[in-house]
Amino acid sequence: MEYPLPASVGPALSFNGGFVDTLGFLALQGLFTAHVTGNFVTLGVSIVHGTSGAVSKLIALPVFALVVGLTHLAAVAIHRRGLAPLRLLLITHTLMLAAFALLAIIWGPFSDGDSATALITGMTGVTAMAIQNAISRQHMKGTPPTTLMTGNVTQFAIDVFALWTERAAEQRTIIKQRLKPIGATLLAFVAGCTSAALLYLAGGAWALILPVVVAIGVCLRVYRSDRLQS
| pLDDT computed for residue 230 by the predictor | 58
pLDDT tens-digit readout, 158-177: 989 988 888 888 888 888 88
| pLDDT computed for residue 101 by the predictor | 98
Confidence bin at 11 (pLDDT 50/70/90): very high
Pick the residue with more confidence: 229 or 118? 118
Mean pLDDT of 97-108: 97
CA dist 55 and 121 (Å) reads: 13
Instruction: Check pLDDT > 70 for residue 53.
Output: no
pTM over 0.75: yes
Instruction: Check pLDDT > 60 for residue 194.
Output: yes
8 A C-beta contact, residue 2 and residue 88: no
pLDDT tens-digit readout, 120-162: 999 999 999 999 999 998 888 778 889 888 888 998 999 899 8
Mean pLDDT of 98-108: 96
| pLDDT computed for residue 125 by the predictor | 97
CA dist 48 and 103 (Å) reads: 29
* CA-to-CA dists, residue 153 to 23, 33, 192, angstroms: 22, 20, 16
Mean pLDDT of 85-114: 94
Q: Which backbone phi and psi does 81 adopt, to 5 degrees?
A: -90, 5
| pLDDT computed for residue 92 by the predictor | 96
CA dist 154 and 143 (Å) reads: 15
Q: In the chain, what percentage of residues exceed pLDDT 70?
A: 93
Q: Does domain 9-229 have CATH number 1.20.1250?
A: yes
Confidence bin at 49 (pLDDT 50/70/90): low
The full set of domain ranges for the chain reads: 9-229
What is the DSSP track for 166-208? ---HHHHHHHHHHHHHHHHHHHHHHHHHHHHHHHHHHHGGGGG
